[in-house]
Structure 1
Amino acid sequence: MTRIMLSEFIKIKRKLILFLVVLGPLGVVGLQAVNFGLRYDWLTSQYKEDLWGGLIGEVTMLSVPTILIGLTILTSMIANIEHQTNAWKQLLSLPVSKMKVFAGKALLSFVLLFMACLLLVVGTIILGISLKFGANIPILYLLKMCFFPFLAAMPFLALQTWLAISMKNQAIPLTTGILGTIVSMYATGFPDWMPLKWPWLVNEWEKPIYSVLLGIVTGLGINLLSLIDFSRRDVK
Structure 2
Amino acid sequence: MKKLILSDRVKMKRTPLKWVVLLIPMVVLAYEIVNFSYRSAYIKQQMNVFHADTMWSYLIWDNSFLLGLGVPLGITLAASIIANVEHQANSWKQTLSMPISRIQVYVSKFIWLFGSSIISALIFAISMVAIGKILNFESDIPWRDVWGDSLSVYLTAIPFMSVQLWISMLIKNQAFSITIGSVSTMMGLFMAMNQTTRWLPWAFPVQASTIMLGESGLTNNLELSAFLVLSFMQGFVILLAGAIHFAKKDVQ
TM-score by length of 1: 0.94
The answer as to 2:72 corresponding to 1:60 is no
8 A Cα contact 1:149 1:212, kept in partner: no
> What SS does the aligned partner of 2:192 have?
helix
- Distance in 1 (alpha carbons) for counterparts of 2:4 and 2:35: 42
**Pairs within 5 Å for 1:1-236:** 1-47=1-47, 49-134=53-138, 136-190=140-194, 191=196, 192-201=198-207, 206-236=222-252
> What SS does the aligned partner of 1:185 have?
helix
Deviation at residue 80 of structure 1 after TM alignment: 0.5
2:87 partner letter: H
Deviation at residue 189 of structure 1 after TM alignment: 1.5
Deviation at residue 225 of structure 1 after TM alignment: 0.6
8 A Cα contact 1:60 1:146, kept in partner: no
- Distance in 1 (alpha carbons) for counterparts of 2:3 and 2:126: 30
RMSD: 1.8
Bigger drift between 47-56 and 85-94 goes to 47-56
- Distance in 2 (alpha carbons) for counterparts of 1:110 and 1:3: 18
8 A Cα contact 1:29 1:59, kept in partner: no
The CA deviation string for residues 107-165 of structure 1, in whole angstroms up to 9 with x for no partner, is: 10000011001100000100011111136111111112111121111111000000000
Deviation at residue 178 of structure 1 after TM alignment: 0.4
Deviation at residue 231 of structure 1 after TM alignment: 0.9
8 A Cα contact 1:148 1:212, kept in partner: yes
2:86 partner letter: E
- Distance in 2 (alpha carbons) for counterparts of 1:201 and 1:179: 18
The CA deviation string for residues 5-41 of structure 1, in whole angstroms up to 9 with x for no partner, is: 1111111112211011112211111111111122012
1:214 partner letter: L
| Identical residues among aligned pairs (%) | 29
Aligned length: 236
1:51 partner letter: M
8 A Cα contact 2:23 2:74, kept in partner: no
1:56 partner letter: I
Deviation >6 Å, runs of 4+: 202-205
Could you tell me which runs of 5 or more consecutive residues in structure 1 were left unpaired when the two chains were aligned.
none
Deviation at residue 166 of structure 1 after TM alignment: 0.4
